[in-house]
C-alpha cells in the first residue's frame, strides 16, 4: 500500500469490522458533539483516518489501529501531525493494550467509530478505565439503545445499569448504513457516555449478569439461581419490590441496594458452589 488513499471497499477487512465512515456531515456532527475542553482524545480504529483528520485539528490524539496495512498508510498520511506531536499512533490490538492498564496516563475522552464486533467489550473497558472521562462512539444502534435505556424500557439491561452507575448514557443521533463504505448490515448510532466515576467492582458486574440472565423470567427467579430464596424474599419485602417484576422493571439504584444487601450477607448468605452449579456467575 502506498500513501495514496486506498479505495475503502477494496481494502475493507470484515474480520476487523471495517466499515469506513465516508459521510463528511456525520464526521462533523461527531466533532460538534464532543465536550468542550482540552482533554486529549483516544481514538480506537482510525481506519483510513477521516475522523482522525478532524480530531487532530482540535485536540491531541492517540490512535490505536490493529490493521498493519492501515498503520502504514496512516503513518504517511499523518506524518506531519505525528512529527509535531498532535497524533500518536499505536499499531496493535487495543484490547491487549488495555491489559497493561489505562490507555493513557492522564484523563482522556474516547471518540471513535468502533469496530462493532468488539464495541460492547471496548465500552465496558472504557467504563472501567479510571482515566477515561467520557465516550462518544459510533456503535450498532441496538447496542447504543441498550446502554442508554431507562428503567422500564424493554431493552433496559445490565449495560444500562452499568452506564447508569458511572454517569449518564445518551443516544446523540442515528446514522444510516449508507454513511459507510462498505455499508454495514445494521443501523448505527452515536452514543455518548459521560462518566462521573469508573466501574471498579467486578462482583457487581457478575451480580448483574445473574440478574439479567433470563430477561423474560422474573428478577426473583434469576437471582434465586445463586442466592437463597429466603434471603431474597425478605430483601424484596424490605425494599418494596414485587416478586413478579422482571429484570428490566427495576432501576439502577435498587440494583445497587439489592447488591449491597446481598454482599453484606457475604459468603454464608450465598448458596454453596455445588448448589449453584452451572448458574454460578462467570467471571
Does residue 136 belong to the site contacting ligand SAM (CB under 6 A)? no
Least CB distance from residue 230 to ligand SAM, whole Å?
Answer: 46
Please spell the DSSP secondary structure of 98-141, one letter per residue. Answer: HHTS-SSSS-EEEEEE--GGGHHHHHHHHHH-TTEEEEEEEEEH
Nearer residue to ligand SAM within complex by CB, 19 or 165? 19
Stretch in the footprint of ligand SAM (CB under 6 A) among 71-79, 111-119, 204-212, 232-240: 111-119
Q: Bridge-partner residues for 193, per DSSP? A: 135, 169
Does residue 82 belong to the site contacting ligand SAM (CB under 6 A)? no
End-to-end CA distance of the chain: 42
Does residue 56 belong to the site contacting ligand SAM (CB under 6 A)? no
Does residue 70 belong to the site contacting ligand SAM (CB under 6 A)? yes
Among 115, 158, 204, 226, binds ligand SAM (CB under 6 A): 115
Decide: 103 and 62 in contact? Cβ < 8 Å: yes
- Is the four-CA dihedral 137, 138, 140, 144 of positive or negative sign? positive
Does residue 179 belong to the site contacting ligand SAM (CB under 6 A)? no
Contacts of 18 (CB under 8 A, 6+ apart): 11, 12, 47, 67, 115
Does residue 31 belong to the site contacting ligand SAM (CB under 6 A)? no
Least CB distance from residue 174 to ligand SAM, whole Å?
Answer: 16
Among 23, 54, 75, 93, binds ligand SAM (CB under 6 A): 93
Does residue 129 belong to the site contacting ligand SAM (CB under 6 A)? no
Decide: 107 and 6 in contact? Cβ < 8 Å: no
Does residue 188 belong to the site contacting ligand SAM (CB under 6 A)? no
- In angstroms, what CA-CA distances link 231 with 96, 214, 227, 257, 269? 40, 20, 7, 14, 7
Interacting residues with ligand SAM (CB under 6 A) = 16-21, 44-48, 50-51, 64-67, 70, 93-95, 113, 115, 118
Amino acid at each position: 500500500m502506498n500513501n495514496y488513499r486506498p479505495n475503502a471497499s477494496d481494502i475493507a477487512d470484515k474480520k476487523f469490522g471495517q466499515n469506513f465512515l465516508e459521510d463528511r456531515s456525520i464526521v462533523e456532527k461527531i466533532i460538534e458533539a464532543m465536550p468542550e475542553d482540552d482533554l486529549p482524545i483516544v481514538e480506537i480504529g482510525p481506519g483510513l483516518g477521516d475522523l482522525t483528520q478532524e480530531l487532530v485539528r482540535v485536540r491531541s490524539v492517540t490512535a490505536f489501529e490493529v490493521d498493519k496495512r492501515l498503520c502504514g498508510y496512516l503513518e504517511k498520511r499523518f506524518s506531519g501531525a505525528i512529527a509535531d506531536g498532535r497524533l500518536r499512533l499505536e499499531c496493535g490490538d487495543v484490547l491487549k493494550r488495555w491489559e497493561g492498564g489505562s490507555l493513557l496516563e492522564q484523563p482522556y475522552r474516547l471518540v471513535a467509530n468502533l469496530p462493532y464486533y468488539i464495541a460492547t467489550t471496548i465500552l465496558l473497558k472504557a467504563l472501567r478505565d479510571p482515566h477515561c472521562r467520557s465516550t462518544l462512539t459510533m456503535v450498532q444502534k441496538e447496542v447504543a439503545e441498550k446502554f442508554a435505556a431507562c428503567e422500564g424500557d424493554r431493552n433496559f439491561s445490565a449495560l444500562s445499569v452499568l452506564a447508569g452507575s458511572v454517569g449518564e448514557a445518551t443516544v446523540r443521533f442515528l446514522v444510516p448504513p449508507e454513511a459507510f463504505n462498505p455499508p454495514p448490515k445494521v443501523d448505527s448510532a452515536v452514543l455518548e457516555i459521560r462518566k462521573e466515576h469508573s466501574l471498579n467492582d467486578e462482583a457487581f458486574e457478575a451480580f448483574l449478569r445473574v440478574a439479567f440472565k433470563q430477561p423474560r423470567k422474573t428478577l426473583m427467579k434469576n437471582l434465586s439461581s445463586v442466592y437463597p430464596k429466603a434471603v431474597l424474599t425478605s430483601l424484596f419485602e424490605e425494599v418494596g419490590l414485587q416478586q413478579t417484576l422482571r429484570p428490566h422493571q427495576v432501576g439502577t439504584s435498587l440494583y445497587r441496594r439489592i447488591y449491597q444487601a446481598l454482599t453484606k450477607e457475604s459468603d454464608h448468605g450465598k448458596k454453596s458452589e455445588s448448589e449453584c452449579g452451572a448458574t454460578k456467575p462467570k467471571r
